[in-house]
Amino acid sequence: MTRTSLLIAAVAVAALTTSAHAAVLFTRTLTVSSSVNNFDNDQLDVDLVFADDQLNPTNLIRLFDDLVISPASLNQEFIKTPSDPGFDEVVARLTDASQEFIRIFLTEDEPGGVSEKRGWSESDFFLHGTPANAPDLVNSTIESISLRVDQFTLAPSGPTAPLSVGDPLNVQLFFTINGTSIPEPTAIWLLGCGIATLSLLLFTRRRPQLAKATLPLRKR
């Protein structure tokens, strides 16, 4: 067998292995804008809420509920891992293949502060991200969940505010889930075929050498 065949087989095995264990499982941008509220405080408390029902949730799980962002938070990334409260419960919901609901709240960090919220069913949430059309992250191991502040615009309010200030609130958070995924059966089959092919090529290449080494020496 040629070196080219060996190289192709090795690359195929490596590619399949890498695709089965990608570091980034899912990303999307969460946008909270077009607000009708007048915000007096540019310190916004973040709540990412995972609910078992849209209208009558019985078990709310919160993540990032200790996070307060402001214009100074631009380009900063905030990460939650298994050591954080509620993380394991969130992971259980994101990997159970059930239709549940995700909401994000931005609330003024003050008593009685106004709040903006956006929400999605899990199927809608994962449909618009990466990978496309993913209903859930079933059979995945989630190692971390992060939010990065990509944009924070808050227009002034009150009697001294300009008459036309455009969108009073525009916050964009880049949401990322990191971890590993269990390969689909097809991927496992392809990986096995790649390994078997590579092994066969290596054995075939070594066979003439083995046969030559085992030939009896002729007496002169």
Instruction: Enter the pTM of the model.
Output: 0.71
**Does residue 143 contact residue 178 with C-beta atoms inside 8 Å?**
yes
**Predicted local confidence at residue 179, as pLDDT:** 95
- Residue 18's pLDDT is 47
Region of residue 34 (phi > 0: left; psi between -120 and 50: alpha; otherwise: beta): left
Residue 60 pLDDT: 93
pLDDT value at residue 134:
56
Instruction: Look at 99-103, 122-126, 161-165 and tell me which has the smallest mean pLDDT.
Output: 161-165
199 or 67: which carries more pLDDT confidence?
A: 67
As a whole number, mean pLDDT of residues 107-120 equals: 93
What is the pLDDT confidence band of residue 186, given thresholds at 50, 70 and 90?
very low
pLDDT tens-digit readout, 31-54 = 999 888 888 889 999 999 999 888
- In one-letter notation, the amino acid at residue 111 is P
Average pLDDT, the chain: 78
pLDDT at 184 over 50: yes
* Confidence label for 167 from pLDDT (cuts 50, 70 and 90): low
Between CA 163 and CA 5 the distance in angstroms is 70
Cα–Cα dist 79/146, whole Å: 4
**163 pLDDT exceeds 60?**
no
Q: Amino acid letter at 176?
A: T
